[in-house]
Amino acid sequence: MKDDGALVLFSGGQDSATCLAWALDRFGHVETLGFDYGQRHRVELDCREAFRTAITAMNPDWAARLGPDHTLRLDALAAISDTALTSDAAIRMGTDGLPNTFVPGRNLLFLTFAAALAYRRGLKHIVGGMCETDYSGYPDCRDDTIKALQVALNLGMERRFVLDTPLMWLTKGDTWRLAESLGGTPLVRAVVEHTHTCYLGDRSHRHPWGFGCGTCPACDLRAKGWQDFVAERL
């Protein structure tokens, strides 16, 4: 395995895009992986190539380090899910205290398939945008979950993968600040223009923080993070 190699779970959203920049700043070879699981906001996958192009244009070192992009289909995840991310259901809180945008097992499956690909590609680090600070309450985004899964993957594949979660203890405002610290205004602008977070897949409304419906929980969180980020400049 390449100790200096990383595979980034890159959905096309703000968090994973920032994680991609973070990985390119640290590792000598970086590949990206996206999942098509029948998500309602599948437009996020269409944003990935534009962001990869933008991020390599702004930094020649990053361009040299960025390797292939991979996409895996996980249609079965949508088939067994009944969520607002995999159907046209209205977004609401469930009786269990979790929003119905939670797709059970999603991150567990993502990281397991990522580890299988990293095994074949010889990459030690697997980078994900999971966050326990500003998140929707998803249990598969928690630090304990990621640490436990790292142990299971290493035991089950006889490897020493490292699951890196650079956003785990950051707020959304901090995530914007991290992007700025990594790539300055050009990277912040690329995140605004070429990433997608909106659960409804809306790319028709442009806001200061990017495209989206402006009302879903993902847009609300992204907008509040942007407001926190720009408030420092006032």
Domains defined for the chain, CATH in brackets: 2-231 (3.40.50.620)
What whole-number distance in Å separates Cα of residue 2 and Cα of residue 128? 18
Please report, rounded to a whole number, the percentage of residues in the chain having pLDDT higher than 90. Answer: 72
Q: How confident is the model at residue 105 (pLDDT cuts 50, 70, 90)?
A: confident
pLDDT of residue 136: 67
Average pLDDT over residues 18-24: 98
pLDDT digits (tens, 9 = 90+) for 37-61: 878 677 889 999 999 999 999 999 9
Please report, rounded to a whole number, the percentage of residues in the chain having pLDDT higher than 70. Answer: 88
3-class secondary-structure state, position 41: coil
Whole-prediction pTM value?
A: 0.91
Locus of tokens 């990594």? 182
Average pLDDT over residues 146-170: 97
pLDDT of residue 87: 62
Average pLDDT over residues 73-77: 84
**Do 124 and 162 form a contact (C-beta atoms < 8 A)?**
yes
